Structure 1
């Protein structure tokens, strides 16, 4: 039998709603805006902000609030728990340098994809994929590659929890189409994103075999025009394969 939610649990949920609303905006968010957006009492929002500010989770900025750097401290610790980040980071950086593109490392957590590291090559697109950004797995090459490494039952659980919302007209939005795509990825070893999350942007990704650590994938992001020629696509997949192999070997043989 489920235990009833206590007031402390509800309070924590309210704090998380406020933090999420602040994180969604690039500029500081006023109390009035949070009240309107979250439909909470002004006194409630104020009390939560005061508590969060005392712990460095939010800071005052002009007439509003933004996330504090304490959040970066927590995130930095979280991504390093099992060694995958430390092993993958230098290889992803090399991948970006060799291809000239934007290279990414993504972890899955609670059915969403979390960018934990990005590196920019000399011709990389100017695209905001900063560490900590969360995305639906079915909208990215990274996410689809990662989904393909999971069991069908786990994929079903993720779809049941988060759905298959569309980011663009090209996004896969049906369960049958997604499973068909995952079968292809499992056969070929690579996933592609062709304007499924943002118009004009393409991506190729592959999952990482990390043992019992965590679900992870790496990718190369590029303008769609550079992904479409067959020779370019083949070069990207070869680079990804080599990088993934180095990461997996290092993880399997004790680094760190």
Structure 2
């Protein structure tokens, strides 16, 4: 007999809504603005903010509430627990230095892609590199690489849960197109993103074989003009493959 699903705690959910709203804001968020955005009573928002502040999860500055550094402590622990981040980080630093581009590490969690590390080369584009930012998997090379490493049934579950929302005119928005591309990625072992999440931005990604650890992928992000020449694609895929191999060997034998 299947166990009944335990109901979630409403107060905790409210705190998470407040934290998420603050995290997604550009700068501090005044309490009055949080009340309006969340459509909650002022007293409710105030009580949650006081509690969150007591635990270091938010701080109140002149411009409003911001995330506290306790979030950084918790997030750092989350990304390091199985060793993938610790092994991948120095290799991504080398990758960014060698290519001059952005090198990224993403984990899959609850059907979304979570950026857990970004290394910046000297020619890298300006990109939001905040720890923990999330993206729909079908909109990025990293995400599509992760999807390609999952079973079709698992991919279907993710699409059922999150859909295939468009971020640009180039975003994949149908299951048939998605599965067609995943088949190609599984054959080539590389995924490409050509302005599917951000205009003018391209990316090449590959999944990591992490054993029984979390699903992970790495990528090189670049202006689309630097990715489109065939010679550049070959160069990026070769160096990305080398980086992935080093990470995978270290995880298999060195951890």
The aligned residue for residue 114 of structure 2 is: 114
Distance, in Å, in 2 between the alignment partners of 1:129 and 1:219 is: 13
The aligned residue for residue 100 of structure 1 is: 100
Compared with structure 1, are the counterparts of its residues 231 and 19 closer, same or farther at alpha carbon in structure 2 (3 Å cutoff)?
A: same
Per-residue deviation at 1:122? 1.5
The aligned residue for residue 206 of structure 2 is: 206
Distance, in Å, in 2 between the alignment partners of 1:4 and 1:207 is: 34
Contact 2:195 2:201 in 1 (8 A): yes
Distance, in Å, in 2 between the alignment partners of 1:3 and 1:231 is: 53
Per-residue deviation at 1:79? 0.5
The aligned residue for residue 253 of structure 1 is: 253
SS in 2 for 1:218: strand
The aligned residue for residue 7 of structure 2 is: 5
Moved over 2 A (4+): 1-6
Distance, in Å, in 2 between the alignment partners of 1:196 and 1:3 is: 37
The aligned residue for residue 36 of structure 2 is: 36
Give the alignment's Cα RMSD to 1 decimal. Answer: 1.1
Gaps of 5+ in 1: none
Gaps of 5+ in 2: none
SS in 1 for 2:213: coil
Q: Deviations over 1:91-150 (max 9, x none)?
A: 111111111111001111111111111111111111113221111111000000010000
Q: Which segment drifts farther, 214-223 or 114-123? A: 114-123
Q: Deviations over 1:40-73 (max 9, x none)?
A: 0000000000000000000001152111000000
SS in 1 for 2:80: coil
Per-residue deviation at 1:226? 0.4
Distance, in Å, in 2 between the alignment partners of 1:165 and 1:204 is: 21
Per-residue deviation at 1:4? 6.5
Per-residue deviation at 1:3? 5.7
Distance, in Å, in 2 between the alignment partners of 1:122 and 1:23 is: 28
Per-residue deviation at 1:2? 3.2
SS in 1 for 2:180: helix
Distance, in Å, in 1 between the alignment partners of 2:97 and 2:131 is: 19
The aligned residue for residue 142 of structure 1 is: 142
Distance, in Å, in 1 between the alignment partners of 2:110 and 2:197 is: 20
Distance, in Å, in 2 between the alignment partners of 1:87 and 1:69 is: 24
Q: Which segment drifts farther, 186-195 or 26-35? A: 26-35
Answering whether residue 71 of structure 2 is matched by residue 83 of structure 1, we say no
Per-residue deviation at 1:26? 1.6
Contact 2:104 2:218 in 1 (8 A): yes
SS in 2 for 1:165: coil
TM-score, length-normalised on structure 2? Answer: 0.97
Distance, in Å, in 1 between the alignment partners of 2:30 and 2:154 is: 40
Distance, in Å, in 1 between the alignment partners of 2:63 and 2:13 is: 24
TM-score, length-normalised on structure 1? Answer: 0.96
Compared with structure 1, are the counterparts of its residues 3 and 101 closer, same or farther at alpha carbon in structure 2 (3 Å cutoff)?
A: closer
Contact 2:27 2:63 in 1 (8 A): no
Distance, in Å, in 1 between the alignment partners of 2:20 and 2:245 is: 36
